[in-house]
A and B are shown apart, each in its own frame.
Chain A
Amino acid sequence: MSNITPQTSQNDAMRYSALSILANGLRGNRGWTPAWREPEPKAEYDVVVVGAGHGLATAYYLAKEYGLRNIAVIERSYLGSGNIGRNTTIVRSNYLLPGNVPFYELSMKLWEGLEQDLNYNAMVSQRGVINLFHSDPQRDAYARRGNAMRLHGIDAELLDVEAMRAMAPMLDFDNARFPIKGGLLQRRGGTVRHDAVVWGYGRAADARGVDIVQNCEVTGITVEAGRAVGVETNRGPIRAKKVALAVAGNSSQVAAMAGLRLPIETHVLQAFVTEGIKPFLDHVVTFGAGHFYVSQSDKGGLVFGGDLDGYNSYAQRGNLPVVEDVCEGGMALMPAIGRLRLLRSWGGLMDMSMDGSPIIDRTPVQGLYLNAGWCYGGFKATPASGLCFAHLIARDEPHPVATAYRLDRFASGRVIDEKGMGAQPNLH
């Protein structure tokens, strides 16, 4: 029993299974090996992906679907330090506009097969996402959205108030100001454990030979004769045939290293988690009359959030007026949570684009690719974003479901403005 040789090489990295858990448990859990290597950066790669959020998924699909071998993901901090590890874990494909619907549905389908694909338990939980409505016009708007989804073959159900009462009895249905009239339900929507998504993609990319380089900050983009040929980092220069940016929150900063100015502002979004309680809320619920949405984590805490703070920020923390606003929304929707104690609150840097939709495109600099502008909704996009970005990098043409995410759409007028708010990033 004591004679277990540690498995170090990526090629014989163990497959996770119920049996491996059992066998390792019996051996005192001494047989587990690191889930990915910590390589020194090489002098040159075919593709350098900057940012280990969507960047990890990108590298994974570059290796798996497009057969590239010599890839690095460069991350200035640790894996999961960005928004991929700071979000409220909601996944859904309940979009309205044609540019968005097929993309987010592809992402949903990838979530559905992700754990088998990565051999990693990401706790994909299709518990249903419900958007509540509180007035007749809001019902009409949600009916329209639900119809758009069904026309694209995506599940959507318009629930009346009785059905809502059965599903979420703790809501304040007869609120004098915002009575609940029903909700739009996407049953296939739900939550996925965010850290596990980082770790799962990281491990699977590493197993396919991708170098994941943590604590390595890109400080410059090397451009020769109009072509990106590498990056400068705090650990030295790295040459690359192609450079791919996936640094939401810092896109403007990093793109400026290649002389680009983006249609993006960086804003802060806060989120909150309460102490753990017994099972209380089965679904993801969004309040239609205020800025509040909530789900219950498997540990029991209520994970909730609301609106952006509303001003440019790189501080990764917000201010009290939004804390108050979000909590008021929570109290208006489910007064039963009023005595719960808040465990933590935190903030993340949002790449707020001018139309509220993302960018997956080439840039005016040859060999430089951009994945940006994810606003507060890019976690659910992680698989499709990675796949479509990989497609773009490998083939030099957009993936069929991501053709609308062009960088020049602002100049051409083909914006994708789900909320119809115009070029005011803090309103998307």
Chain B
Amino acid sequence: MRIRCPYCGERGLEEFTYRGDATVTRPETLDQTAEAAWVDYVYLRDNPAGPHREHWYHGAGCHAWLVVTRDVRTHEILGVELAGGPA
């Protein structure tokens, strides 16, 4: 598997660290009413067998966080974006 980093170009998998599902969002608030939303965010995953949007960190390169769209049945990379806009 090779990932095309927007800054560094196509690089080997061993330069990157995986964080996980990029589609879950952290609840805005810490108060009790958001408990279910927190359980959802921390623990529950769609875990699709198909295209998956996921966070990768280019630790041995530019240190950018990336959102990679990858078909997890084949490991084919369908797209790469910067996670939070330009770092």
**B43/A410 in contact, CB under 8 A:** yes
Kindly identify, within residues 301 to 319 of chain A, every residue whose CB is under 8 Å from any CB belonging to chain B: 310-315, 319
Residues of chain A whose beta carbon lies under 8 Å from any beta carbon of chain B: 250, 252-253, 256, 261-266, 310-315, 319-321, 324, 354, 410-411, 423-426
**A426/B18 in contact, CB under 8 A:** yes
* Bound-state Cα–Cα, A266 to B45, Å: 10
Could you give 22 example pairs across A and B, Cβ below 8 Å? A250-B49, A252-B45, A252-B46, A252-B48, A261-B44, A262-B47, A263-B43, A265-B20, A265-B21, A265-B45, A266-B49, A266-B72, A312-B20, A312-B21, A314-B72, A319-B1, A321-B12, A354-B42, A411-B35, A411-B36, A423-B43, A425-B20
Kindly identify, within residues 44 to 87 of chain B, every residue whose CB is under 8 Å from any CB belonging to chain A: 44-49, 52, 54, 70, 72-75
Residues of B with C-beta under 8 A to A310: 18
Residues of chain B whose beta carbon lies under 8 Å from any beta carbon of chain A: 1, 12-14, 18, 20-21, 35-36, 39, 42-49, 52, 54, 70, 72-75
Q: Which residue of A lies closest to B15 (CB)?
A: A321
Among B20, B47, B54, contact of A424 (Cβ-Cβ < 8 Å): B20
Residues of B with C-beta under 8 A to A354: 42-43
With A314-B72, A315-B74 known as contacts, the answer to whether A423 contacts B42 (CB < 8 A) is: yes
* Bound-state Cα–Cα, A319 to B18, Å: 14
* Bound-state Cα–Cα, A423 to B42, Å: 7
* Bound-state Cα–Cα, A333 to B42, Å: 37
**A321/B14 in contact, CB under 8 A:** yes
Give the most central of A313, A320, A354, A424: most B CB within 10 Å.
Answer: A313
Nearest CB on B from A363, distance (A): 14
Residues of B with C-beta under 8 A to A256: 46
With A265-B20, A319-B1, A411-B39 known as contacts, the answer to whether A313 contacts B46 (CB < 8 A) is: no
Give the most central of A310, A314, A321: most B CB within 10 Å.
Answer: A314
**A261/B46 in contact, CB under 8 A:** yes
With A311-B54, A319-B75, A426-B18 known as contacts, the answer to whether A253 contacts B49 (CB < 8 A) is: yes
**A311/B46 in contact, CB under 8 A:** no
Residues of A with C-beta under 8 A to B49: 250, 253, 266, 314
Nearest CB on A from B67, distance (A): 14
Residues of B with C-beta under 8 A to A250: 49
* Bound-state Cα–Cα, A320 to B75, Å: 13
Nearest CB on B from A403, distance (A): 20
* Bound-state Cα–Cα, A311 to B18, Å: 6
